[in-house]
Amino acid sequence: MKNVFSFLSAFELSNTSGLHVFVKMESYLFPFDSLICMLLGISFTVWFTLLLVFIIVPAIFGVSFGIRRLYMKSLINKLYLAFNTMLTLTFWIIAKEPVSLEQEIHEMRRGGAEPEFDMSDIFYFCRRGVESIVDDEVTKRFTAEELESWNLLTRSNYNFHHISTRLTALWGVGVLIRYGFLLPLRVTLAFTGVGLLVVLTSVVGLFPNGRMKNYLSDKVHLMCYRICVRSLTAIITYHDSENKPKNGGICVANHTSPIDVIILASDGCYAMVGQVHGGLMGVIQRAMVKACPHIWFERSEVKDRHLVAKRLSDHVADTSKLPILIFPEGTCINNTSVMMFKKGSFEIGSTVYPVAIKYDPRFGEAFWNSSKFGMVNYLLHMMSSWAIVCSVWYLPPMSRMEGEDAVQFANRVKAAIARKGGLADLLWDGGLKRGKVKEVFKEEQQKLYSKVLVGSSEDRSPS
């Protein structure tokens, strides 16, 4: 438009040499630009007002209008339509039964093998090796859970593509809704929540230590985390709130995603434990620690187990400080199982408050595969999904029993979390996500087999 007016103005000027005509034609541009600016200003005002009235203010007071629940119900109907449009495929690769090594070898020998070593034993180890290659129960915990039916998202079952025109059209409408409306809304809320967290915790940090500072810190953290929860359209159901962690204790939970923190912290305040970071994360950490005694470690300090245990012990010894939130697995697991808990947080001797978190993968995959997706890419996946739906169970507090070591205590807590969340209880270390199997695991299998051989020899020895 501007080029047209400029061309006409220059043409008139070259023919009439009338400077006033050029100025007059150019003056029409200013009302047009002003109109665009005014419309943009009105749109931004309406957008921010809607966010303030329906999301930010309810988050401040901890209330909900039920919009997210209504949205989830409509999603269920939409996904149910998609499920009925296609065939549901289920893949059963290997059916395993919990049978011990000794029982399986005894069955393969058919009870008639005299020597200590039997050639049929080789088939047991060969079969186990092939099973592990085809259907490894450990490494598949480090990839997103694959659904039996497509939920119209990309991070689900990749076997479903272009099944019908109707389903493709439904997916296209979903893309427009998720990327055209939900994503900008969620990004705005995320920046609002994080920005308020940095600014308000810095302001609260100026207050002297006391009840007033603790009260304001709790309110600021809850408000900002609730805004961040809404930026994910997180629909959370909390169970058994009477068992919520109390001051002077340690809260331990299974770990699926970095958002586990805001899922729990939007319902109660915790002292965070973690490594000092740089960049934006470092700015957030430095602001948070001004308002609340979080525990941040330097990279060199993390390796010092005694220093870590000392700082954790000093924190839980002060009943005025918030409970510590720890994820003992040390890495993210895909929410189908609970893997080995590191014993460090169970050596302190404090009361442990177990928490089980279970996500519903139909609406969005919360698992963060850090070896495949960076944080920005992961957050894009999260904010462009339908919603984050999960249940949180607060389990009764647990203490270390007499004669129980830290490893046994950790396994008992892990089993309770797995049982409550409906997750598989695995003994494997989550460190296998990036490392190799330790020799100790191989030695355990060798010891089990040696017991079979020694046992067979004892059976043949005269009484």
Q: Which residues of the chain are modeled with pLDDT < 50?
A: 1-30, 86-95, 113, 115, 456-463
Give the pLDDT score at 100.
Answer: 60
The answer to whether residues 6 and 116 belong to one domain is no
Let me know whether 424 and 301 are in one domain. Answer: yes
* pLDDT at residue 101 in the model: 61
CA 230 centroid distance within chain: 15
In sequence order, the β-bridge partners of residue 273 are 295
What one-letter code names the amino acid at 334? N
Residue 414 lies in a domain: yes
Instruction: Flag whether 395 is in a domain.
Output: yes
How many other CB atoms are found less than 10 A from the CB of residue 300? 8
DSSP states of 11-73:
HHHHHH--HHHHHHHHTTHHHHHHHHHHHHHHHHHHHHHHHIIIIIHHHHHT---SHHHHHHH
85-132: pLDDT as tens digits: 544 444 444 445 556 666 666 666 665 545 466 666 666 777 666 666
Assess whether 181 and 239 both reside in one domain.
yes
Question: Is there a single domain that holds both residue 98 and residue 115?
Answer: yes
Question: For residue 227, is it within any domain?
Answer: yes
- Residue indicated by tokens 């150019």: 26
293 and 314 assigned to the same domain = yes
> Do 294 and 384 have their domain in common?
yes
Question: Could you tell me the pTM of the whole model?
Answer: 0.74
Task: Please state the separation of Cα 438 from the chain's center in Å.
Answer: 27
Give the range of the structural domain holding residue 446, as residue numbers without chain letter: 94-134+434-463
Residue type, 199: V
State which of 38, 60, 82 marks the end of a domain. Answer: 60
One domain for residues 179 and 306? yes
**Tokens coding 121:** 């034993």
User: Helix %, strand %, coil % for the chain, to 5?
Assistant: 55, 10, 35
Asked if the structure places residue 71 within a domain, the reply is no
**Spatial contact of 387 and 234, defined as CB atoms under 8 Å apart:** yes
69 within some domain = no
Residue 445 neighbours by CB under 8 Å, 6+ apart: 101
Number of domains in the chain: 3
C-alpha to C-alpha distance for 164 and 169, rounded to whole angstroms: 9
Whether residues 200 and 270 share a domain: the answer is: yes
Q: What is the pLDDT of residue 116?
A: 62
Residues 253 and 317 in one domain: yes
Summarize pLDDT for 319-367 with one digit per residue, the tens.
Answer: 888 899 999 988 888 888 898 898 888 888 788 999 999 998 888 888 8
Residues 411, 433: Cα–Cα separation, whole Å: 20
Nearest CA to 231 out of 202, 197, 268, 205 is that of: 197
456 plus 398 within the same structural domain: no
Same domain, 265 and 331: yes
Question: What angle is formed at CA 374 by the lines to CA 369 and CA 380, rounded to 5 degrees?
Answer: 95
Q: Is residue 193 part of a domain?
A: yes
Determine, yes or no, domain membership for 82. Answer: no
Going by C-alpha positions, the residue among 147, 53, 76, 47 that lies closest to residue 386 is 76
Runs of H (alpha helix) within 318-438: 375-383, 406-421
Establish if 130 belongs to a structural domain: yes
Regarding whether 126 and 171 lie in a shared domain, the answer is no
